[in-house]
Amino acid sequence: MSSLTGCYFDPSERVGKFIDNGLLEITHILGVGAYGVVYSAKNVLNQRVYAVKCMPKANIDAQQHRLHLTEINLHAQVTGHPNIISLEKIIDITDSLNVVLEYSDEGDLFSMITEKGLYLGNDDLIKQVFVQILDAVQFSHYHGIYHRDLKPENILVFDDGMTVKIADFGLATTDTWSKDFCCGSTYYMSPECQGGLYERVSGYATAPNDVWSLGIILINLACGRNPWKQASLSDETFSAYVQNPEFLKTILPISDELNEILKDVFALDPEKRITLSEFKERVLECHSFIMPEFATFCEMLVEQEIDVPPTISHDMCSQSSTSSACSWYSMNSEMDFSIPPAEFLDDYDRCSVSTGSTFISTLASSQPDLIKCFENDSIINLKCGSLIMDNHLLRTNYIF
C-alpha cells in the first residue's frame, strides 16, 4: 500500500494510492483545474465513494493558500444543510491539502438540463429543485456566507435529478460588500458585479448579486438556455432588456407569471431586487413557468423518448467513465448554455405545426429552417426557423 506523500505533484501517479491512513483509495481523476485535481476515492471498508479535492502545497503563494483555507472554512460552516454538498473531512499531508467531499455519480444540473432535458416543461420538478437551491442559498446567507459563483455546473444532482446540492465555495465570501469585480461566471454576474451598468461603482452588495445568478438559473431550468451572454450594455440582448423589461417574452417561451418574477429578480438597482424569501414565495405560487403552447410541445417531446447522441462534451471527462459527472469536478470550467444567434433577435413571429389533431404554436424567428421530430413512424415537420427548441440552442435527448 503506497501513500500519497511524495513531494512531486503528478496527478496521474496518485491514482491507485491511499490517503487517510489507508482508508481511502484514489481510484481515478474526475477533473483538473488551475489549483489542483479532483479525484474519485473509495472507502476500503464500506466501499462508499467520495470526491477528493487535492490542492498541492508546492508553488502556491500565501494568498492562494489563504484562499484555500477560506474556501474550506466557509464550506464547513454550511455543510449540514441537506441541499449543500457535505464536506466530510480534511486530510493534510506532506505535499497537499485534501478535501473529502460528498460525491454524486449523476453529475451536475448543467448536464441534467442540456443533455437529458429532465426539467423541460415539468413545472412541478422545476419548482421542487429550484426551491431547494433557494433554501441552500438562504441558509448560507443566514450564516453570512455569499457564494458568488452560483450556476448549474456548481449544483450537483441526486435521486434522478429530484434532489440538488450546491457545491464549490471557492469564490464565497463573508463580505456583504465586495470590491472583487467580475467574480464568478460571466453569464451569471449581475451588472454591478461587473463594475456597474451606466457608471463605475465602488463595490457591490453580495447578497443581491447571488439573487441575480439565481434568476439566470431559473431561466436555465425553464427554457434550457441563457437570456444573454453578459449583463452589460455591450451585450445587445441585455441592452434590449434594459430598454424594455418585457423583452424576455419575445426571446423566451416564458409565462406571464415567470416574466413578472424575473422583472423583480433582474431589477437594475440591487436595493430594489427581490429578496430570497419573496423569491421563494413567488416561485411556489407560480402556476406555469412557460407558455401553454410551449408546454404542450414539451410534453410531446418527453413522450417520444427519442435517443439522440449528446452534442456537448465535457473537458477532462475522457479520463473517467463517469463522464456525466465531471463538470463541477473540472474546477470552475466555463461550460455555459448556448445563447440565441444574432439573427434570432432581429425578427420574431408565430409559426404553427400540426399533425393529425395536434396543434402546436411556438415562438420562432422568420428565417425558415426544418426540424424533424420522430414519433414512431410519423414525422412532424416544424418549419419554424431557429426555434428555441432547436438543438443548437437547447441540447436534449429528444430533438435534433
Annotated binding site for ATP: 53
DSSP three-state, residue 166: strand
The full length of the chain comes to: 400
Which residues face 358 on adjacent strands?
355
The active-site residue, picked from 20, 108, 149, 168, is 149
For residues 12 and 50, what is the distance between their CA atoms, to the nearest angstrom? 18
Helices (H) and strands (E) in the chain, counts: 9, 14
Of 354, 364, 363, 399, the closest CA to residue 385 belongs to 364
Of 275, 353, 291, the closest CA to residue 123 belongs to 291
Please answer whether residues 11 and 37 qualify as being in contact, where contact means their C-beta atoms are separated by less than 8 angstroms: yes
Structural Rg of the chain based on CA atoms? 22
The values of phi and psi at residue 164, to 5°, are -130, 150
Q: Which residues contact 338 (CB under 8 A, 6 or more apart)?
A: 225, 226, 392, 393, 394, 395
For residues 48 and 105, what is the distance between their CA atoms, to the nearest angstrom? 12
Q: Which residues contact 364 (CB under 8 A, 6 or more apart)?
A: 348, 349, 350, 351, 384, 385, 386, 387, 388
The values of phi and psi at residue 120, to 5°, are -60, 115
For residues 384 and 372, what is the distance between their CA atoms, to the nearest angstrom? 11
Quick one: how far is CA 80 from the chain centroid? 21
For residues 70 and 64, what is the distance between their CA atoms, to the nearest angstrom? 10
- Quick check: is 347 catalytic? no
Binding-site residue ranges:
53
For residues 283 and 262, what is the distance between their CA atoms, to the nearest angstrom? 10
Of 222, 210, 208, 215, the closest CA to residue 253 belongs to 222
Which residues face 142 on adjacent strands?
none
Of 228, 216, 211, 185, the closest CA to residue 269 belongs to 211
Residue with cell 431561466: 219
For residues 96 and 5, what is the distance between their CA atoms, to the nearest angstrom? 8
Question: Which positions are catalytic?
Answer: 149
